[in-house]
Amino acid sequence: MKIIADLHTHTISCGHGYSSLEEMAEGARQNGIQILGTTDHGPNMPGAAGLKYFEELWRIPEYIAGVRILKGVECNICGLDGSLDVPDRVLQNLDLVLVGFHPRCGYLGKNVEENTRSLIGAISHPLVDLIVHPGNPMFPIDEKLVVAAALEYDVILEVNNSSFRGSRKGSWDNCTAIASECQHQGVLMAMDSDAHISFDVGRLDLSQKLIETVGMDAEQIINTSEEKVMEFVQRKRLYKAEYSYK
Ligand SMILES: [Zn+2]
Ligand SMILES: [Zn+2]
């Protein structure tokens, strides 16, 4: 399956990334990626950039090294209601709002019920675009309910390549179950590298294998065409523009 966009990557600005944005774009170009989502961790991640960093992303040009740059963030879920560590006024101006559970970033849920409620709370937020590594075994969820919520709120679920390389051990079976459920319910998925260094941009070998095993059609993977990615971003921009926050 040919992948032309990588919607989840990090730079040196997140505190544990190893490449600048320019290097990441060059890595994308070299690896055949035409659209790069730069989505550094939200401020609750130890070492992450502050809110000001995300407020100033407008300074980044639309293209670097011929690669289209989508400016975003990977928010941390903090509350049992799915509340995030980045305020709406900042999220509203971003191209990509990624959200997920991360250890030591403020979330205190303890079981499937709490994790599911919290994740669905985040999915129902009109500014949220994509849920990162939903198969993380540290934060088990009810897959059926989460996939149904993703369908209802037009949110993408991710197959995160880094999860299978050591970031989140034991993700394979959960991600297979989530992908099968997405296939069954017709929910869009993204394959993302979650690269923290330029060489890994577009590295999706294990996600590809999982999607092949499940037998999911390329149609259901958003980052197989520039049109599909940009159509999604534009559609969500409309929701974002209409949304008025407190
Ligand atoms: Zn990271
Ligand atoms: Zn990440």
Tell me: the pLDDT tens digits for 50-67?
Answer: 999 999 999 999 999 999
Residue 166 alpha carbon to ligand 2 centre in Å:
13
Residue 8 alpha carbon to ligand 2 centre in Å:
6
What ligand has the least distance to the C-alpha of 105?
1
- Residue-wise burial string across 182-206, b where 16 or more C-beta atoms lie within 10 A, e elsewhere: bbeeebbbbbbbbbbbbebbbbbeb
- Per-residue confidence at 5, pLDDT binned at 50, 70, 90? very high
Residue 132 alpha carbon to ligand 2 centre in Å:
7
Q: What angle do CA 14, 195, 187 make, to 5 degrees?
A: 110
pLDDT digits (tens, 9 = 90+) for 214-223: 999 999 999 9
Map residue 76 onto helix, strand or coil: strand
Q: How many angstroms separate the CA atoms of 215 and 217, rounded?
A: 6
Residue 244 has a pLDDT of: 85
Hey, which residues does 135 pair with through a beta bridge? Answer: none
Residue 184 alpha carbon to ligand 1 centre in Å:
30
What ligand has the least distance to the C-alpha of 100?
2
Range of the domain at 215: 5-242
pLDDT digits (tens, 9 = 90+) for 147-206: 999 999 999 999 999 999 988 989 999 999 999 999 999 999 999 999 999 999 999 999
Among 84, 91, 96, 92, CA closest to 122: 84
What ligand has the least distance to the C-alpha of 6?
2
Provide mean pLDDT across the span 226-233.
Answer: 98
Number of independent structural domains in the chain = 1
Checking if the pLDDT of 113 tops 80, the result is yes
Residue 74 alpha carbon to ligand 1 centre in Å:
9
Tokens of 32: 């055949």
Residue 131 alpha carbon to ligand 2 centre in Å:
11
Q: Check which CATH number belongs to the domain holding 17 and give it.
A: 3.20.20.140
Provide mean pLDDT across the span 116-138.
Answer: 98
Residue 127 alpha carbon to ligand 1 centre in Å:
21
Specify the range with the lowest mean pLDDT, choosing from 71-75, 116-120, 134-138, 164-168: 164-168
Residue 234 alpha carbon to ligand 2 centre in Å:
23
Among 11, 16, 105, CA closest to 60: 11
Give CA 18 to chain center in angstroms: 19
Taking phi over 0 as left and psi of -120 to 50 as alpha, with beta for the rest, 110 belongs to alpha
Q: How many angstroms separate the CA atoms of 114 and 136, rounded?
A: 15
The model's pTM: 0.97
Q: How many angstroms separate the CA atoms of 136 and 101, rounded?
A: 8
